[in-house]
């Protein structure tokens, strides 16, 4: 039932649940939106670091070499 | 038969993201680039089976993932050097994320089960929808959602966080602010 509350309420409830868990209850079932956002930010930062390197020459050469040639 | 110019551009445009996905799977840049190379060769050799108008990235990601699972994953533990090599490639990082926290994140990500990690990366970083990710991973949409949720929960556990207050730099800043009051 808790899972389909409006977003604001949901976040508060999840945060409260997370704090309760700190005191030694069961593992957290869901993460707060803040934690999810932070994890997402780090994941994208890591990923984009590679994306921003562009296309290395070896791959551009590979694709261009095949382009315009017979494949056989 | 020459490759269609639009197809060539679409393949080229997909390469940066394909590399980022490959590195997240392999944990090693050199092996990831080999994986990308083999993926491109396979894709270009079978370019006729690509359906124009469909998503080129998704098609290439599918080929890469299948190749990784059939050829690379079993070698993974033998050749693992992972973190050091990865860190070497990632010379810079966004200012808003502390170095320690960023390293902890990468280490935690590397510890996730492969199914969870790939689902999280596809949805959370590559920008695929749950449906596209399910297609790439050849599983149900609900399975992807479940894997993404478990991945996030496990990451938070591994990093020892259960609320946003507990991220390193913020926590310290707040402690300083609180003690000043």
The CA-based angle B28-B37-A48, given to 5 degrees, is: 55
Q: For the residues A9-34, what does the mean pLDDT come to? A: 52
Assess B110–A contact: CB distance below 8 Å, yes or no. no
Determine the residue among A59, A61, A72 to mutate to test chain B binding: the one whose Cβ has the most chain B Cβ atoms within 10 Å: A59
Closest CA to A42 of B98, B151, B160: B98
The CA-based angle B122-B128-B129, given to 5 degrees, is: 115
State the Cα–Cα distance between residues A68 and B4, nearest whole angstrom.
9
Assess B35–A contact: CB distance below 8 Å, yes or no. no
- Chain A residue with CA closest to B5: the answer is A67
pLDDT number for residue B95: 54
Residues of A in contact with B17 (CB under 8 A): 47, 51
pLDDT number for residue B10: 94
pLDDT number for residue B28: 86
pLDDT reading at A30 higher than 80:
no
pTM for this prediction: 0.74
Per-residue b/e over B153-178, b at no fewer than 16 CB within 10 Å?
A: bbbbebbebbbbebbbeeeeeeeeee
> Which tens digits make up the pLDDT trace of B3-25?
788 899 999 999 999 999 999 99
The tokens for B97 are 């994320």
State the Cα–Cα distance between residues B146 and B141, nearest whole angstrom.
9
- The stretches in chain B having pLDDT less than 70 are 1-2, 73-97, 162-181
> Which tens digits make up the pLDDT trace of B22-56?
999 988 899 999 999 999 999 999 999 999 889 99
pLDDT number for residue B135: 96
Determine the residue among A19, A21, A42 to mutate to test chain B binding: the one whose Cβ has the most chain B Cβ atoms within 10 Å: A42
ipTM above 0.90, yes or no: no
Q: What is the CB neighbour count within 10 angstroms for residue B121?
A: 25
Three-class SS of residue A56? coil
pLDDT reading at A28 higher than 70:
no
B4 CA: distance to closest CA in chain A (Å): 8
Q: Which of B23, B40, B44 sits opposite A50 (nearest CB)?
A: B23
């Amino acid at each position: 039932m808790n899972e389909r509350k409006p977003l604001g309420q949901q976040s508060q409830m999840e945060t409260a649940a997370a704090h309760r868990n700190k005191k030694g209850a069961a593992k957290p079932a869901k993460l707060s939106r803040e934690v999810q956002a932070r994890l997402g930010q780090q994941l994208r930062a890591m990923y984009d670091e590679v994306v921003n390197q562009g296309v290395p020459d070896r791959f551009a050469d590979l694709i261009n070499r095949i382009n315009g040639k017979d494949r056989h | 038969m020459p490759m269609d110019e639009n197809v060539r551009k679409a393949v080229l445009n997909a390469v940066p993201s394909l590399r980022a996905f490959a590195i997240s799977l392999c944990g090693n840049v050199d092996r990831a680039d080999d994986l990308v190379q083999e993926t491109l060769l396979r894709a270009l050799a079978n370019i006729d089976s690509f359906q124009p108008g469909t998503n080129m990235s998704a098609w290439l990601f599918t080929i890469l993932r299948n190749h990784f699972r059939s050829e690379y994953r079993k070698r993974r533990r033998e050749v693992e050097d992972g973190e050091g090599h990865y860190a070497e490639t990632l010379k810079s990082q966004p200012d808003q994320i502390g170095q320690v926290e960023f390293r902890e994140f990468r280490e935690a990500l590397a510890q996730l089960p492969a199914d969870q990690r790939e689902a999280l990366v596809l949805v959370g970083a590559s920008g695929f929808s749950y449906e596209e990710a399910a297609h790439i991973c050849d599983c149900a949409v609900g399975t992807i959602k479940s894997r993404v949720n478990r991945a996030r929960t496990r990451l938070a556990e591994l990093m020892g966080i259960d609320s946003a207050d507990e991220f390193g730099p913020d926590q310290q800043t707040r402690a300083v602010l609180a003690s000043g009051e």
